[in-house]
Copies of this chain bind each other. A is one copy, B any other.
Amino acid sequence: MIRIGICGYGNLGRGVEAACLAAKDMELIAVFTRRNPEDLKLNSTTPVYSISEIADFKDKIDVLVLCGGSATDLPKQTPDLAKHFNVVDSFDTHAQISHHFDEVNKSVLGNDRVAIISTGWDPGLFSLNRIYMESILPMGKDYTFWGKGVSQGHSDAIRRIPGVLDARQYTIPKEEALEAVRKGKEPELTARDKHLRECFVVLKENANPKEVEHAIQTMPNYFADYDTIVHFITKEELDKNHKGIPHGGFVIRTGKTSAGVNHKIEYSLTLDSNPEFTGSVMVAYARACYRLYKEKQYGCKTVFDIAPKYLSIDSYEALLKHLL
């Protein structure tokens, strides 16, 4: 059994917990938290410890799955913890990945550990599709679309506007753009061409809806470059109809192999729960992490370094017989 620890117990931590419980070759040893361990209500009987005690588990855990955020938690946690543990994270700030890789690599190489960073679905499964598609169809162009799904960052940005009590923002790929891409037209698409932003907003008493709508639609980086639809709803409606954290998206590449001979490759995800699915991907990579450690293949890795067989619970013989 692969002994797993979870570091951080928010939505993603709960997703990793669910995926570990579904994995027949894994045993959940401990959940670590910055909060008071007694305050956590788990979905399993896994013991909970303060993160300050984590060093005691150096030899009791095979892989530590890091469930903190990319903004402030992981840039420090992943390199720190990779000195003592094999780790998997879902660091997703695309522009910082190279730097994060270097920092983590320094930690693990000196300590004979394996770290797999930036797993999940984007970065993660979508990255895998981009590399396979580009390698196979070099004469072509690929496109990534996100949604329909909840963007936590955009929802938070709306909540910070004065007069807003609560909000939920959906990123929606535009059907016209998807269709143009699928037809192999290789269009040049702006942010506005690709995605629509739909916001469900609960106002505080006496707030001015016109002002809030304007504040949202003109917010730089988040909304100004998009067509943004704002709906005002009650707190009850928000809690009833917008509780989930669905997400998904598309990676599509069209290209040719010779003059006039065209091909299309399309990959899509439709997810009821972004954190549960991301947790499932991380747990598959935790299995790979354990196996690479056993093979002494130390170092920092990404999904690009991991041969697919390391993710599967099946024997190689079974894979050749049933999946190839």
Residue contact B19 to A257, C-beta cutoff 8 Å: yes
Expressed in whole angstroms, the minimum distance between the Cβ of A235 and any Cβ of chain B is 24
Q: Which residues of B contact A32 (CB under 8 A)?
A: none
Closest residue of chain B to A301 (Cβ to Cβ) is: B307
Q: Which residues of B contact A137 (CB under 8 A)?
A: 280
Q: Known contacts A132-B128, A271-B263; is A324 also within 8 Å of B308 by CB?
A: no
Q: Which of A244-285 contact B (CB under 8 A)?
A: 257-258, 260-273, 276-277, 279-281, 284
Residue contact A324 to B127, C-beta cutoff 8 Å: yes
Residue contact A267 to B269, C-beta cutoff 8 Å: no
Q: What are some 22 contacts across the A-B interface (CB < 8 A)? A: A22-B138, A94-B324, A97-B321, A118-B324, A123-B324, A127-B323, A131-B309, A134-B323, A135-B308, A136-B311, A257-B276, A261-B272, A263-B269, A263-B272, A264-B269, A264-B270, A265-B267, A265-B268, A266-B266, A266-B267, A304-B307, A304-B320
Residue contact A268 to B266, C-beta cutoff 8 Å: yes
Expressed in whole angstroms, the minimum distance between the Cβ of A119 and any Cβ of chain B is 10
What's the Cα separation between A132 and B311 when bound, in Å?
Answer: 7
A305 on interface, CB distance cutoff 8 Å: yes
Residue contact A320 to B101, C-beta cutoff 8 Å: yes
What's the Cα separation between A320 and B304 when bound, in Å?
Answer: 9
Q: Which residues of B contact A317 (CB under 8 A)?
A: 98
What's the Cα separation between A49 and B296 when bound, in Å?
Answer: 45
Residue contact B309 to A307, C-beta cutoff 8 Å: no
Count how many chain A residues have C-beta atoms less than 8 Å from C-beta atoms of the other chain: 65
Q: Known contacts A257-B22, A273-B257; is A284 also within 8 Å of B136 by CB?
A: yes
A130 on interface, CB distance cutoff 8 Å: yes
What's the Cα separation between A130 and B308 when bound, in Å?
Answer: 10
Expressed in whole angstroms, the minimum distance between the Cβ of A81 and any Cβ of chain B is 21
Q: Which residues of B contact A257 (CB under 8 A)?
A: 15, 18-19, 22, 273, 276-277, 279-280
Expressed in whole angstroms, the minimum distance between the Cβ of A179 and any Cβ of chain B is 14
Expressed in whole angstroms, the minimum distance between the Cβ of A268 and any Cβ of chain B is 5
Residue contact B311 to A135, C-beta cutoff 8 Å: yes
